[in-house]
Chain A
């Protein structure tokens, strides 16, 4: 197997794993479909925006939950709702799932469970970030070796 085929094969199994483990869902594939020659970094740009955004939102949630003054569950819920929306838009399905649970606990005003969800959220976002960085690196390696990146759905 030549270098390009090897890289492509690795890319294919890595991508399958991302879908299989539920890190990403069909919406991630929809994003790939939108990328074209006029904007070859579209997916990377959107994903980067997502991680900037999620970091800000998670910090806001943490501040609200750890505040000594009266805890504003509605505010926390609003941040969670925003993160749920953006994770859904890019296909970050595990992050989205945590947000769903988190929202319920905000509504129930369950401090303990909210804190747990926050931790889980941080974990899932960091994990996804690493996974996608690896994925993008693989793509770049394929292109650098003169190959083309296969477009894969679920």
Chain B
């Protein structure tokens, strides 16, 4: 009986994966960066349960490589305009990253360094979330000031991902109004404007890890 339900589960999973691939445009894609294998696995699961597509990499360098920023080909922030940014992303054949989540403390390039590199590149409008096992207020302020969207304390739980839902919802809503790539940056700019007012809130939340509120989980949010 168990074996049969395993097969059924696998088939369902394959079907779901296929549907997901077809609806790729409408799913939030997160780039997760962490040197710890266990934390990557946990984060991947948390994101999948929250209906996100995930790509995991183990270092800041690998993240930059993925984003096409490693060989010094990143564009100057002053040069970027929405048309340039979409050229940069189409360089990767339609690579779309809606959010970057990175560990702070990593060997080699730290999450903070990665944050700075991203914010100084054509990917600057992508929200970056920092994570750390240590609650160091000065570290948190530093990251928020550098443009981090949120600073989450490890270990991560579903409720932390729920904090990121506003970014998710806005991004999916906007990508539904217009499916063209050039609108992507405009939408993310709107997100940034809304997120700036959220930054103070997230700073407080990061300093007190126990969040009493538990918003209902919005599972299976696939907006067509």
| Interfacial residues, chain B to chain A (CB-CB below 8 A) | 1-2, 6, 9, 12-13, 16, 36-39, 41-42, 45-46, 49, 105, 133, 154-158
Contacts and interface: CB of A to CB of B under 8 A. Distances in A.
Given A34-B45, A34-B158, A53 B9 contact: no
A137 B154 CA distance: 29
B41 A53 contact: no
Given A38-B16, A39-B45, A143-B2, A33 B39 contact: no
A126 interface: no
B39 A36 contact: no
Given A34-B49, A38-B13, A49 B41 contact: yes
| A33, A42, A86 — most chain B CB neighbours (10 Å) | A86
A34 B46 CA distance: 7
B37 A49 contact: yes
A80 B140 CA distance: 23
For chain A, what secondary structure do more than half of its interface residues adopt (helix, strand, loop), or is it mixed? Answer: helix
A2 interface: no
B219 to A, nearest CB: 10
Contacts of B12: 37-38
12 contacts: A27-B157, A30-B155, A34-B46, A34-B49, A36-B49, A37-B9, A38-B9, A40-B9, A86-B38, A86-B39, A89-B38, A89-B154
Interface in A79-134: 81-82, 84-86, 88-91
Interface of A: 27, 30-31, 33-34, 36-40, 42, 45-46, 49-50, 53, 81-82, 84-86, 88-91, 143-144, 146
Contacts of A27: 155, 157
A1 B7 CA distance: 32
A143 B155 CA distance: 29
B45 A42 contact: yes
Contacts of A49: 37-38, 41
A45 B41 contact: yes
Contacts of B1: 146
A90 B38 contact: yes
Given A34-B158, A53-B38, A85-B39, 4 more contacts: A34-B49, A53-B37, A86-B36, A89-B154
| B6, B16, B41 — most chain A CB neighbours (10 Å) | B41
A34 to B, nearest CB: 5
A45 B86 CA distance: 39
B155 A88 contact: yes
A106 B105 CA distance: 18
A30 B157 contact: yes
Given A27-B155, A89-B154, A46 B42 contact: yes
Report, nearest first, the 4 A-B pairs whose CB atoms are least far apart.
A86-B38, A89-B155, A30-B157, A27-B155
Given A34-B45, A49-B41, A89 B36 contact: yes
Contacts of A86: 36, 38-39
A133 B75 CA distance: 52
Nearest to A36: B49
Given A85-B154, A143-B2, A46 B41 contact: yes
Contacts of B13: 38
Contacts of B42: 31, 34, 46, 89-90
Nearest to B156: A89
Contact of B38 (A33, A39, A42, A46): A46
Contacts of A45: 41
A89 B39 contact: yes
